[in-house]
Copies of this chain bind each other. A is one copy, B any other.
Amino acid sequence: MTAEPPQGFWGVAGLQGPRRAPVPDEPFRVTPWEVEGVVDYARLIKEFGVDALTPDVLERLKKSAGGELHHMLRRGYFISHRDLKWVLDEYDKKNPFFLYTGRGPSGPIHLGHLVPWILTQWLQEKFDVDVYFQLTDDEKFLFNDDLTLEDTAKWTVENALDFLALGYKPGKTHIIWDTKHAGVMYPQAIRVAKKLTYSTAKAVFGFEPSSNVGEIFYTSMQSVPAFLPSVLKGKNIPCLVPMGIDQDPHFRIARDILPKLGYLKPAALHSKLLPGLTSPGTTKMSASDPNSAIYTNETPKQVRAKVMKYAFSGGQATTAEHRKLGGNPEVDASYRWLSLFERDDRRMEKVAEDYRSGKLLSGELKQMFVDHINAFLEKHRERREALRPKLDEFMLKV
């Protein structure tokens, strides 16, 4: 598979660039700030020391979630975890977890960002638990020469609205804005920092002598929401972190250090680093390419133009050939992205079938995706603006 971080949060790596076929055994590199090469998830799972999200674990989750499994889980968009079974066992023993996810506010939100957030919202709904959403404006400021704190403040507000618009519960959803909540975050972050040597941080994140001292410190801040609710409530509460797998290194560190401070290891649920719109699903990363993603602030017309022009097609070169040979939904970007948003399995199966048989043309599939996503985005933007005056109510109270 291939990568388009950031899928959900924190990460900074750009959208993907030119198409490229996968090369077996080719080296790749995944850090929270950079993804290079074509990611082989089986190898990444081994390298990161995480557990594959096997059918039995999904069954376990389905059972605790009341017999249902989100379509993103059913369709394999989440690939690995840490301690998910333990979190569910505790939940069944009336010891509920809280959810923690986040976002590095460096620009507008695209559909890929929404993937772990949509799943997090589903988890909140099914388990009726608290959600902590961290906006790491400090990270984005520290890791991006071009971003000022004014820029990150603007994106913090805009990105928080995109998150909340997915349907998070008031009263159970708590936004942590790193610099605004520094009064409560920093005193906890230094407790983590004291246990983390430069050599470990360097080994995990690959810092250079030219790295700034804020970048080196930063992971301490990302650890904090994993135990802050335990601090605030004065008792240990299990934590589950849905995230793009590129963010796992932060939590490898958190899982090592938090027990030394008397807290529980955070559990994790990892999504794939999704291929962009321009990709057949196997693409090397390059610098930011706005055409490879659909942003929540794009007009229906812009979305249509982008999909029609740039979405990688699994169809044939001519209508006649397509009718004869059929298309390949697996590599078709519109099909793949539709499958992230369309819940109905039977509809997706029919689309795949019609595409393979040649009944459904590439342009028709694109239009189907455009219609679905434009309808989604229209409602999303309405919810977003309705929430704008209520944003303060969601801010973490300390």
Which residues of chain A have a CB within 8 Å of any CB of chain B? 138, 141-142, 149, 179-183, 185-187, 189-191, 193-199, 201-202, 207-214, 216-217, 219-220
- B179, B182, B183, B196: the one within 8 Å of A213 (CB): B196
A138, A190, A199, A219: most-surrounded residue (chain B CB, <10 A): A190
**Contact yes or no, A213 B209, CB < 8 A:** no
CA distance A202 to B207 in the complex (A): 14
Residues of the B chain whose Cβ atoms lie less than 8 Å from the Cβ of A214: 189-190, 193-194, 196, 217, 220
- B141, B187, B193, B198: the one within 8 Å of A190 (CB): B141
CA distance A212 to B20 in the complex (A): 41
- B149, B194, B197, B202: the one within 8 Å of A142 (CB): B194
CA distance A257 to B36 in the complex (A): 33
**Contact yes or no, A182 B183, CB < 8 A:** yes
**Contact yes or no, A197 B212, CB < 8 A:** yes
**Contact yes or no, B186 A182, CB < 8 A:** yes
Residues of the B chain whose Cβ atoms lie less than 8 Å from the Cβ of A199: 209-210
Q: A213-B217, A213-B219, A213-B220 are in contact. List 7 more A-B contacts (CB 8 A).
A: A149-B191, A180-B183, A194-B214, A195-B212, A198-B207, A198-B216, A214-B217
Residues of the B chain whose Cβ atoms lie less than 8 Å from the Cβ of A211: 197-198
Q: Pick 13 A–B contacts, CB within 8 A, sort by A.
A: A141-B190, A179-B186, A181-B183, A186-B186, A190-B214, A195-B212, A197-B211, A198-B198, A198-B208, A198-B210, A214-B220, A216-B217, A217-B217
Residues of the B chain whose Cβ atoms lie less than 8 Å from the Cβ of A219: 213
Q: Which secondary structure dominates chain A's binding surface? A: helix
- Minimum Cβ distance to chain B for residue A309 (Å): 38
- Minimum Cβ distance to chain B for residue A176 (Å): 13
Residues of the B chain whose Cβ atoms lie less than 8 Å from the Cβ of A149: 187, 191
- Minimum Cβ distance to chain B for residue A1 (Å): 32
A213 and B216 contact, Cβ closer than 8 Å, known pairs A182-B182, A183-B182: yes
Residues of the B chain whose Cβ atoms lie less than 8 Å from the Cβ of A217: 193, 213-214, 216-217
Shortest Cβ distance from A210 into B: residue: B197
Which are the 10 A-B pairs with shortest beta-carbon distances? Answer: A193-B214, A183-B183, A217-B217, A199-B209, A182-B186, A179-B187, A186-B186, A193-B213, A190-B214, A182-B182
Shortest Cβ distance from A193 into B: residue: B214
**Contact yes or no, B186 A198, CB < 8 A:** no
- B181, B189, B190, B212: the one within 8 Å of A196 (CB): B212
CA distance A1 to B185 in the complex (A): 43
Residues of the B chain whose Cβ atoms lie less than 8 Å from the Cβ of A185: 182, 186
